[in-house]
Structure 1
Amino acid sequence: MSTPGIFFLVVGPSGAGKDTLIDGARAALAAGGRHVFAIRVITRPADAGGEQHTAVSEAQFTADEQAGRFLITWSAHGLRYGLPASLADELRAGRHVIANGSRAAIAELAARVPRLVVLHVAAERAALADRIRGRGREEGEQVARRLEREVNLTVPHGVQVIDILNNGTVGEGVEKLLSALDHAQRSLRVVRYPIDTWRERVAYLPPGSVVSAADYLGPGRISIEGDSRSITACVHVAETGPVLADDEIGLSVHAFESLALPQGTRVSIRRTPAPDSRQALREKIQGHPLSEAQYALLLEDILQGRYPDSEVAAFLVAATRSLSDSEVVALARVRASFMPRIDWNEPIVVDKHSMGGIPGSRITLIVIPVVAAHGLAIPKTSSRAITSAAGTADAMEAVARVDLTAAEVRETVRRTRGCIAWNGRLNHSALDDVMNHITRPLGIDSNRWSVASILSKKLSAGSTHVIVDLPWGPQAKLKTLAEASELARLFETVGDALGLVVQAHPTDGSAPIGRGIGPALEVQDVLQVLGNGLAAPADLRTKALTFAGHILAWDPALGSFQAGLARAEELLLSGAAHEKFEQIVDAQGRRPSPVRPAALAHPVHALGNGRIRHIDIARISEVARRAGAPADKAAGIHLAAGLGDEVAGGQVLYTIHASAASDLEAAAQLAEQASGVSQGHS
């Protein structure tokens, strides 16, 4: 059985040109056989001029109406109008009906036809008056009364309305009407299709789709548009169940949620044209530099899903191989434009970033309260761990809320001058989601690309001064001092071009910093440093004070690193930094019970005597993660011995903590295979 046709009701004020446009469409579509143009029955003489119609007397009209020969009738201007009941047969046969009708009849007609689309033709008042006079049926006051007559265009839910402004030539008006007919005939009803394609947006069309599914197959994308929302998706033909009607489009779970329109909403589709940015993509793949304008076009099209993953991957591979300093600046500016900008209205707003990769090293939780206690604004947003045992946000979450809104961050900074929040709700980058979906499985990484990403977020966060920690070492992200120094130069160069004051410092990344590895265990180290405890890890304290000293040197009242370091030590020793940390925790929302290191523990012992020559940071992190970190904030490792320490056989090297016995057993087995701690004789 064929899909029923659409009833197109052409409405609008007198003089809008409805009959003229319909005549033009009739001439254009006559040969196709898919469209039927209704001839109205009117109680008006056949020689009255104007549209072609069937003239009947009042008595005949009443008799036909009582006999059920009309699909619908209405009255206007002292006349009776009717559309033949036979039009319903045309609709059932799959043909589309176009009829000149009354705005007042829309609701009744919608209940009598399978699908009603209203084509609302309008024109400016002067054009309406000229056309009414040109018909020769009304003059003077009659024309004025016609123009004053207004009927509100109200339509039932589900009835599509397409507006056509007919102010131009007849040819232009007919073209608009034909375009509206085509648009409606190609519209489809959205259906949530029960297939989860994860991050891939997929649309499903039935083999007999009204839009000819074969026209949209291929490696490209289609645009799905409706109610001021649109997405792009690739197209599959659904030849098996769930069965789709000919005028339906099924959307995978992710596509349906992305479009965010109710099921049954009418949408239109079109093949996404080759993006304007395609030439830029090709140039980058060939190794050529791109301008900021080219990156703006290209990244927007990538973000909107207008390229298949294969082409995005090729672009990213090329970008990892060749990005000039000016391109990194351009990328940072473009990326920042995709995120909301926070304006703090302060001369100095500080931020800190670390390239990470080193277990422990939770200096941020010390630096922020030191700097805030001095009085500089330092709204710090941090990430959660991806491959490590803890990120800054994971550690802070052991004692306080970190999923703050922008308003909550502002309030926290207003009250305490600092915060340590998760960046997922603040300067989250949708572009990163798209890129990471491709880069992580392929292992694509680029320090230069990372500089653009990091500094774009600092720019959008309203920072004016940024300090960057660049750990380097055999197992760090940066392998050599030369590599770290070159990246420091790039950070500072790009920052300057963006109007930021950036200092980047290469640091020792050959071993863990501090004793704890895992959220609660790292916070334990932090609190020992802030509390000036005798057991506080000296390396963590020294590194935190060094970075705090560099930051405080930006205060014109201090002006040098030596003065900044002295001030940082003063704030730490006096307890002001510890007090500030507790204020920040309270402002963000203190946990009712802070997370403590898990009670289940397993010691890992040295196999013999000797000095610790190497700590395998990748292995140590893997053991901590196997114990449950960072998802289990109580899990992780506490190091009992550090690099260079002399240990005896049987001495505890580190203790594994876990909340579940199965996790503890799995981590202990991993440590037994290889502890990650290497010894050598003195």
Structure 2
Amino acid sequence: MTPGVLFFVVGPSGSGKDTLLDGARAVLGGSGRFVFARRVITRPADAGGEAHEAVDAATFARLQQDGAFLIDWTAHGLSYGVPARVVDELARGVHVVANGSRAVIADLLARVPDLVVVEVTAPLDILAARLAGRGRESADVIRTRLERTTPPVPAGVTVVRVANDATPPVGIERFIAALEAQTARLRLARMPLSAGSRALAVLPRDSSVLGAADYLGPGRIDIAGRGRSIRAEVALADPGTLAVDSVGLTHEVFDRLGLPEGTPVVLTRTPTPASRAALRTKIRGGTLDEADYARVVGDIVEGRYPDAEVSGFLVAADRGLDDAEVLALAKVRASFASRITWDEPIVADKHSMGGIPGSRVTMVLVPIVAAHGLAIPKTSSRAITSAAGTADAMETLARVDLDADDVRRVVAQARGCVAWNGRLNHSTLDDVMNAITRPLGLESTRWSVASILSKKLAAGATHVVVDLPFGPRARIKSAAEATALAQLFESVGAGLGLFVEAVPTDGTAPIGRGIGPALEARDVLWVLENDPEAPADLRDKVLHFASRILAWDPAIGDRETARRRAEDLLGSGAAREALDRIIVAQGARSEPVRPGRLTRAVVAERSGTVTDIDGFAVAGIARVAGAPLDKSAGIDLRARLGDMVSKGDALFVIHAGAASDLEAAARLATQFCGFTIA
């Protein structure tokens, strides 16, 4: 037989526990399903309050010594005990409701098979009024009682909260509903299924506990037990697949919930989001304020909306956000990330809207700024659709999966870092949004402004420079669009308390020679080591942005002086030494990743001038060669935009770590190599 549940009712004086217990006893006491424990108290029977068994202190001590209590405690000069005989009721499958104390919950947890703490709450002004109405205590005593700090409920305990802030009938109705909801228990089971990031719970069609079919639909359910909970979609299993009193979870959901198989859990429908009116306003094309976005985004993160409604909201946001909404979203998004704080007057950061192959500016820029002495804790992404992200390229030299403590340590030692942002300013919100926006191809630049600057704020930056490359194949198509976006970045940054400089740049061609992690890292080292092979375009772009950042230092003051300072740090080798310090602090690889040894040259089929380089086509060839997963793979550009080439001259060289990848990339290059020669 499934044992009953012990409902242990706690709450501050004045919360109305006795009233709720009396009301519930009148409704449920005769059902045979519930027993309301009669406590033993060292208080006269006619003292008022709950009906109890009155004993003197000596009798209580004797009962205690004889093991007559399941649990006992002392409070306000009185001793309280819950009779041990309630254990027999629990064993018969009867649910027991007992008035209790927070102080003994941890001890009680080990003594009963299934414990639910029912916490009765009410606002402080209502508590004060109720206590004053009793006439037992002075105003000072009441104030002291209400200011008393209550200990938290121990981890692993199921807690149900009942707000008793209305009339007694309303409070009793809520209390009974809470008890009834917790008695419909399902046993947890691990299903032999995996569903990736999708949270899925499986109910047996022939469930003996609830009507399983009633839970199908676009909504979600909450599964809770022992102080843990998870939200999931519902699927049904045919009879015989699952025990009729169970709920099955996929491997991923079961592991996230973290409870053993067989644990009793309660299933409830996810409440209708309070923010639905705001969400629908946005879907209809309206505007929202910061409070609206906080509610909508909070409910999205909590999984209270089905994917279809989230998709509708994101499509609407993709189509139209005014400047005030971008700022509101940035503030709300920042609230979902853990913020890193720095004891620095200037904390520099840099971001690029990306879309340009190569362009490993960050890996040269950070060492220059660090060598100067400014703090620059740079977090960067891995590749999603490109051949390399900054984190991928840096990972050919050093560890990049740093946590917040690692970043603080590295910056303290080396004044800068180049870390993967996945462990730092990536939030649950990102997971939810990315799962929907990427399949739909949503890439709103205005939404991105909110996302980017919220992450810079969370990383503790005070000053940010933003690279806005524009061109026919870039994310930003024109100079006018880049200029307007720069103004938005700067105005939203100011609203967040950040100093932001956003700079439109030429994005018509790849920057640097290498496309792929190891080849891009090679370009970086060439620039830092002043190698004759160093790509001039990469060096010039680095110095352009370094001069902007160094000019923020009051000791520098203007960009001309800052440019000379950056050139000195680069030319003297100080920036190269700074990179070495960063690599050591982050954790150097035992051996840096080198470009792949298997190579194939792709040559010009005619003589002429290179009039166009489709960087995305070239990056696609690099990906087929294995980049970014194979960090040695990629493309080494030999011809640049505007170069004169002869038939048979190498346009680029494919590098790969596997012969099959090299052949696949070479075949793709024969279809379209990305170069136009006229």
* TM-score (normalizing by structure 1): 0.80
Q: Are residue 204 (structure 1) and residue 210 (structure 2) matched?
A: no
- 1:118 Cα offset (Å): 9.4
Q: Deviations over 1:197-227 (max 9, x none)?
A: 2222122222324233344332212222333
The DSSP-based 3-state class of the residue aligned with 2:384 is coil
Instruction: Spell out, residue by residue over 1:457-510, the C-alpha distance to the aligned partner (whole angstroms, 9 max, x if none).
Output: 000111111001111111111111111111111111111111111111111111
Q: Which residue of 1 aligns with 2:375?
A: 377
- Any gaps of 5 or more consecutive residues in structure 2? 11-15, 39-49, 54-67, 73-78, 121-126, 131-154
Alignment-derived partner of residue 244 in structure 2:
245
SS in structure 2 of the partner of residue 456 of structure 1: helix
- 1:653 Cα deviation after fit: 0.8
SS at match of 2:209: coil
Matched, 1:236 2:235: yes
Partners in 2 of 1:362 and 1:208 — Cα distance?
58
Letter of the aligned partner of 2:664 in structure 1?
A
Mapping of residues 218-617 of structure 1, within 5 Å: 218-246=217-245, 248-617=246-615
Matched, 1:650 2:648: yes
Change (3 A) 1:192 1:353: same
Describe the SS at the equivalent of 2:525. Answer: helix
Cα pair 1:530 1:572 within 8 Å, conserved: yes
Instruction: Give secondary structure in 2 for the equivalent of 1:474.
Output: coil
Are the aligned partners of 1:199 and 1:254 in contact in 2 as well (CA < 8 Å)?
yes
Residues of 1 paired with 2:449 and 2:19: CA distance? 62
Q: Which runs of 5+ in 1 are unaligned?
A: 41-49, 54-71, 128-156
Pair 224,86 (structure 1): closer, same or farther in 2 beyond 3 Å: closer
| Aligned partner (choices 185, 189, 193) of residue 187 of structure 2 | 189
Q: Residue deviations 1:204-258, cap 9 Å, x none?
A: 2223242333443322122223333322222223224531332x22222332233
C-alpha distance in 1 between matches for 2:442 and 2:659:
36
8 Å contact kept, 2:216–2:235:
yes
Amino acid at match of 1:285: I
Structure 1 residue identity aligned to 2:226: D
Q: Is the 8 A contact 2:86 2:96 kept in 1?
A: no
Contact 2:6 2:90 in 1 (8 A): no
Contact 2:377 2:407 in 1 (8 A): yes
8 Å Cα contact 2:4-2:91 kept in structure 1: no
Deviation, 1:364, is 0.8
State how far apart, in whole Å, the 2-side matches of 1:10 and 1:532 are: 73
Cα distance in 2, alignment partners of residues 336 and 159 from structure 1:
31
Q: Tell me which residue corresponds to 2:144.
A: none
Which of 29, 32, 35 is the aligned partner of 2:33? 35
Provide the secondary structure at the position in 1 that maps to 2:267. strand
Over 3 Å counting, the alpha-carbon distance change for 1:368 and 1:160 in structure 2 is: closer
- CA separation of 1:512 and 1:179: change in aligned 2, threshold 3 A: same
Aligned partner of residue 528 in structure 1, secondary structure: helix
Worse-matched range after superposition: 490-499 or 175-184: 175-184
Deviations, residues 582-605 of structure 1 (Å, cap 9, x unaligned):
111111111111111111001111
Q: What amino acid sits opposite 2:303 in the alignment?
A: G
Change (3 A) 1:274 1:590: same
In the alignment, residue 210 of structure 1 is paired with which amino acid? V
Q: CA separation in 2, counterparts of 1:501 and 1:110?
A: 53
1:19 touches 1:51 (CA, 8 Å); kept in 2? Answer: no
Number of residue pairs matched by the alignment: 611
Mark the CA change 1:374 to 1:116 in structure 2 (over 3 Å): closer, same or farther: closer
Aligned AA (2:232): A
- Per-residue CA deviations over 1:294-336 (Å, capped at 9, x if unaligned) read 1011101101111111111100110011101111001111100
Identity fraction in percent: 56
Q: Secondary structure of the residue that 1:234 maps to in structure 2?
A: strand
Distance 1:22 1:452, change over 3 A: closer
> Which protein shows a greater Rg?
1
Structure 1 residue matching 2:435: 3-state secondary structure: helix
Q: State the 1:432 CA deviation.
A: 1.2
Taking the aligned partners of 1:367 and 1:545, their CA distance within structure 2 comes to 8
Aligned-partner Cα distance in 2 for 1:169–1:22: 14
Q: How does 1:42-61 map to 2 (within 5 A)?
A: none
Secondary structure, aligned partner of 2:406: helix
Q: In the alignment, residue 297 of structure 2 is paired with which amino acid?
A: L
* Shift of residue 87, structure 1, vs aligned partner: 8.0
Q: Report if aligned partners of 1:18, 1:100 keep a CA contact under 8 Å in 2.
A: no
2:511 is matched by which residue type in structure 1? I
Matching residue's letter, 2:348:
V
CA distance in 2, matches of 1:410, 1:86: 57
Instruction: Please state whether the residue corresponding to 1:384 is helix, strand or coil.
Output: coil
CA contact (8 A) 2:342 2:460 kept: yes
Distance apart, 1:631 and its partner CA: 0.7
- The corresponding residue for 1:133 is none
C-alpha contact (below 8 Å) 2:509/2:615 kept by paired residues: yes
SS at match of 2:265: strand
CA deviations on 1:350-395 (whole Å, 9 max, x unpaired) are: 0000011111111111111111111111111101111110110110
Contact 2:158-2:227 within 8 A present in 1 as well: no
**Alignment correspondent of 1:147:** none
Shift of 1:84: 13
Secondary structure, counterpart of 1:469 in structure 2: strand
- Worse-superposed segment, 323-332 or 338-347: 338-347
**1:18 Cα shift?**
12
Moved more, 652-661 or 409-418: 409-418
TM-score norm. by structure 2 comes to: 0.80
| CA distance in structure 2 between the aligned counterparts of 1:673 and 1:167, rounded to whole angstroms | 73
Distance 2:257 2:188 in 1: 10
Match in the other structure for 1:134: none
Amino acid at match of 2:225: G
CA contact (8 A) 1:185 1:210 kept: no
Alpha-carbon separation, structure 1, partners of 2:163 and 2:309: 41
Partner of residue 637, structure 1: 635
